[in-house]
Structure 1
């Protein structure tokens, strides 16, 4: 057995020399730059090669500046190579575990890449050589990405998250200032150093009056502009969005139990009295309790292969033109042609929250303005036309928030499980360095 990290470091040093010695030291600048030197194998992972072009391609995604110092490029080359080795052992383990990705899934992914770039699949393939890729290599890359995605999905499905796990994370998020995102506004009533008791009493009375008026519904920003002595008074007293541990401890202790919109204080500090309003409060690493919901409708044509997908795209593009021109109402078109259970309701999906729909549909939906009909969108279910009708901000219910926290915990545990797999597989892998050709 080789020591993977030692071998990877040695290989990284060799490939860095190769990268710096050719115009592809700027491999990070342009994906369309031609390969200037012969490709060669940098490392074998259980007999499977990782080549110099693999490393160049991964570096090119990073869009590095041309003037990046050689030492930083060398360190980056090592990190990229380590990442590629990790991915390779994961892919090998996934295949050995029986996970497969068929050609039809790759066809759908290829069509989605083309759509996002405003191209047909044929046009995309014509441009691949400019990026130093063949069609076969591009499709292999897509297949590998789908394989890793399915591996992650399998690990997430195996994870179990208990109600106690959720409770523990919510408690931590409420009590740890480093894990709480907070924005406060303040009205600051200054008390001069060595002030008399009468002066301090007048300042306290003013601060208490401000707090009373704010709690009764007066505009806090207006009160700050009128009464605050702090520099941010002109901005309505807003102190900025930051983690709670970057606020004075006095402020965090005062608002620890407060909710957005609450008025707290007056709070006495060494400089005077502070009346605080909580503008924003949310866990730094948990889902936002307020989400954007979208009221959306769609038309779906199912497609089982690339030919039927091309036909569906063409049909829906023609239908979109009729809808946009006003010749055909969206609702009527959905009832007539949509191959989805929502056809009888004119394609209406109702109000949907983030995460309810498949990613390819949701990403296209989120990019649409209200009232705009999308171009044909390919998903695992077929080809869609999408129209956003309305958007609204809603606060998650307690149950919805717990479900969102459960999803976060499931992802974390899946990440931990995959990292453990990587460590185990790297320890078992035979990683062989190859010297560059002379």
Structure 2
């Protein structure tokens, strides 16, 4: 069986399948006007077809055709609004950046670039169309980073408070597999509308508790971004969940359906599908020192290497590394300490330096190693394994608080973008 292409930024495969009849019925008229742009009926039918394929691959029954078309059209509208906003902001993706992303996708699938292109074509996809889908997704991600990510900040006080009050050490070792359904409520909705959506959320919750299929229900009724994937949020720790979910999820058992949770964006229904444990945070620290010779108009690569080889020979004859570092190293900060860079953790130093350092035994001298800073003579003094849990907790807390804020802001921003936009849906059944 041929391996299916996957990639991390969520591009759906544009394959026209079981909904070709619908595309033929509509021919190629306008299904929606979105600000200054349009969505064609053929675009809608094509996207519906790809969604149907993904649902079938996940063994999720497709909802009634009018509901599916409405869900997919809403997603196309949101994408169109973001694309237009990105164009107005002057956001563009160069061919170089696009090709880099495509190469990364190929590597994720265990292929070289040419093999990946061939596989795309063999699976019935148009490679140029696939490229443009990737380009559009990158543009949207850059737009969200510009509109939301740039203004999201995380303070040390927030991290302290977060670790002290929200997530215990035991909690951090637990991962949750969650399903999510959103019954959206627009900003400024009337009390009657809110009450009606609340009643809808309660009804959906009861149906699920009576044995309703969660994935099928999500596809049919959810307004969340993951609706067409059956509402799955994937594996997450508590500190990767939106704030308003945390206290609820901590009390749930496997298989539970929570009561609807109210937020500014609507009513959220959660199912705890599974629970699992966490990973160790043991890292290897290295105490390392070096001597740096920088290149310039007077010292080329060959001269820098020659000088380091002479220094290496002197150390082999008994001269002190620290004394030679103070006298010869162009890294003035470490030279004052005899070339000592202290204890370093993985990822702290530039890759060529770290790669060479990793191959050295304790007290062994390297050959001259080139980085963007110049040429280095490297010596490892000691290694130790350390439980980096506390620093890892803070780093993870910072990342997760930021992700949480971005996720919450993105949901509100998308809802506001949709509510404030001019959208004229011209397919009668979708206006009912």
TM-score, length-scaled by structure 2? 0.42
Structure having greater relative contact order (Cα 8 Å, sep ≥ 6): 1
TM-score (norm 1): 0.41
